[in-house]
Amino acid sequence: MEDLFQTEMNERDEAVRLRSELEEANYKYYVLNQPTLSDRDFDFKMKRLQALEERYPDLRTPDSPTQHVGSDLAKKANGFEQVAHRYPMLSLANSYSREEIEDWVRHLPADVEIVAELKYDGLSISLHYEQGRLVRALTRGDGVRGDDVLRNIRTIDSIPAYVQGLPDYYEIRGEVLLPWEAFERLNKEREEQEEPLFANPRNAASGTLKLLTPAEVARRGLTCRLYHVLGENLPGLTHTERLEQARKWGFPVSENMQVCHSVDEVMAFIERWDTERKNLPVATDGIVLKVNSIAAQQELGFTAKTPRWAIAYKFPAERQLTLLRQITYQVGRTGVITPVANLEPVQLSGTMVQRATLHNEDFVRQLGIREGDRVWVEKGGEIIPKITGKEETGEQQATGDYQFITHCPECGTALVRAEGEAAWRCPNENGCPPQQKGKLEHYVSRKAMNIDGLGEETIDLLWEKGLVRNIADLYDLKESDLSGLEGFGQKSAQRIIEGINASKQVPWERVLFALGIRMVGETTAKKIARRFRSLQDLQWATVEQLTAVEDVGEQIACNVTAFFERADNLAVLVRLQEAGVQFAAAEGVDEVVSNELEGMSIVISGVFEKHSRDEYKALIEKHGGKNVGSISKKTSFVLAGANMGPEKRKKAEALGIPIEDEDTFLRRIGAL
């Protein structure tokens, strides 16, 4: 009896642990776009939790991950209205073998047609059309409500904004995708800026669609594939008929689907596309199987989380076992030391893999790998190869403990690791060659000073010839310095000098970003530059003054003040100023025109007539206020337009937060 009691206690504890692990995995996958579990591991844990809840029904509560889909709704308001789905937006059950597909088919009506189609790996979207016009675009969210990302969806050329001759209301659902080519370009840009790389196109698409700047969304080049039509009185009695009609209406519907009448036909489709998908311009991670008959779909219905009439088959992640020859270390622009695995070459997804990032010391220790181990390298749906573990037994295994380096491999300076940070850094920022060259590459990059012709190879050459050692040296270059170098003619030299001269007109906010202050990215630089409108103002700013700027925390503020405490940085700034670089904001640009809203935190919600939401945000900042996304006790008031979010209204009323319409607000700032 004691053994049975102990077993039950252990299994109940296991269920609690699994719930916590699955909720954390859902949050990191859907909200942070940083998956920590493979699909297979996630599904294994989910099935184990389901089995435990079957055994102990009191564990099956509404908040269990077995009873709801993962949510991509941010914990904090993210600038998008949250809108209820007219039809629940559920996830699909996953399968990994023929046996699991056969088991699913056994529960279907006899002789039912099954549609096999590609499972695109992106961000789920539901497009709402009324009277032919696209009026909403909702993410999956928590399945019950989603974020309305309409303004970003409008940047995707393949999604029509208006279609004639359709029902009064319908939804069409699909996946927002970032093509491989655009994904590689984006990650290259992020690598140059020493920003974290997206692990795969799905994460990149999700992160892009939640950006608050539609122009940047448009630049990244999202696309879309649509696969499900919902609504009343729709033409067609089958799933394929409705999709074919949607294609005729002009929607981007995949042509890669097949009606199957047996499991053998399904498996043949899966086998063919497991190879062919590698030639597609977008990422796929499996096959979706759906009952073709709409009537049969309605009869089969849904579970709490998934439709019974559809299932996904997930392609196995491609992985290989290979030898970890050596761990080397790279020094980034900000001094971050990144361990890199140098591998015995191995082929994955059609490419030869010889290197894989190991991120940081903690990552290496968690994997428990050392030089000489045989390690598993995986790609799956990810373009970036990653090491997922090691072979526990084998002929060649390493011995001894892993030791992270203590000194910079480039300049020999002792490394430092700040409390709470995962990375070791070389603090010799102005004397370590990779950091110096990295600062130059960052300074000339497109989003910074945008100096054409000065790529990584050219900067390496200028460095090798002793022509540049810091960013101020660029303004001392002459055409004669360049035209005599290998690969340079008069025209290319002239173009670079013209680009350097043109950079003197780059506005203050981009100059601040170009300086490469640690953790001061493009958006943060813009916010700081709006508050401190010149280099002189910023140079004497205190940590307290800096942290008063939106999204500037103590660590960023300390990095800024530390930058201005270094004599070598100040010497470079003096030379840049003498060269004519813009160290002050132009008159009237983002200038604060009054202090009417000083000290106020204001939430914007709804649709407005006199100005756009972005224009109202700018007005708030120009009059000394601060834009915030979520309502709290610290909120000063809500600027509300038509169709204010019901949850925001409810919370504002509960907390006693004033709600102002746009006329009241405009009168407050003297603009009406």
- Active site members: 119
Task: Compute the half-sphere exposure of residue 50: CA atoms within 13 Å on the CB side of its CA.
Answer: 12
Q: Quote the CA–CA distance of 379 and 212 in Å, as a whole number.
A: 31
* CA distance readout (Å), 243 to 169, 189, 238, 247: 16, 37, 9, 6
Question: What is the phi-psi region of residue 420: left when phi exceeds 0, alpha when psi lies from -120 to 50, beta otherwise?
Answer: left
* Contact call for residues 320 and 347 (beta carbons, < 8 A): yes
Q: Please tell me the total number of residues recorded for the chain in this structure.
A: 672
Handedness of CA 461, 465, 468, 469 (dihedral sign): positive
Report the candidate in 86, 42, 52, 509 with the shortest Cα–Cα distance to residue 317.
42
Distance between CA atoms of 569 and 413, rounded to whole angstroms?
Answer: 19
> Residue 369: how many CB atoms within 10 A of its CB?
22
The helix/strand/coil state of 357 is: strand
CA–CA separation, 221 vs 184, rounded Å?
12
Q: Is there a contact between 621 and 531 (Cβ–Cβ < 8 Å)?
A: no
Contacts of 527 (CB under 8 A, 6+ apart): 549, 550, 551, 552
List, as one string, the DSSP characters of 88-146: ------EE-SHHHHHHHHHTSPTT--EEEEEEE-SEEEEEEEETTEEEEEEE-TTSSEE
| Cα–Cα distance measured from residue 456 to residue 137, given in angstroms and rounded to the nearest whole number | 40
Q: What count of Cα atoms within 13 Å lies in the side-chain half-sphere of residue 598?
A: 6
Give the SS3 label for residue 302.
Answer: strand
Report the DSSP pairing between strands 601-605 and 637-640: parallel
The contacts of residue 11 (CB under 8 Å, 6+ apart) are: 52, 55, 56
Taking a C-beta distance cutoff of 8 angstroms, is the pair 281, 179 a contact? yes
Query: Residue 39 is which amino acid?
Result: D
**Residues 6 or more apart whose Cβ sits within 8 Å of residue 262:** none
**What is residue 317's three-state secondary structure?**
coil
- Contact predicate 92/656, CB 8 Å: no
Residues paired with residue 310 on neighbouring β-strands, in sequence order: 290
The answer to whether the beta carbons of residues 474 and 513 sit under 8 Å apart is: no
What would the 3-class secondary structure string for 232-293 be? CCCCCCEHHHHHHHHHHHCCCECCCEEEECCHHHHHHHHHHHHHHHHHCCCCEEEEEEEECE
How distant, in Å, are the alpha carbons of 452, 453, 641 from that of 459?
12, 10, 51
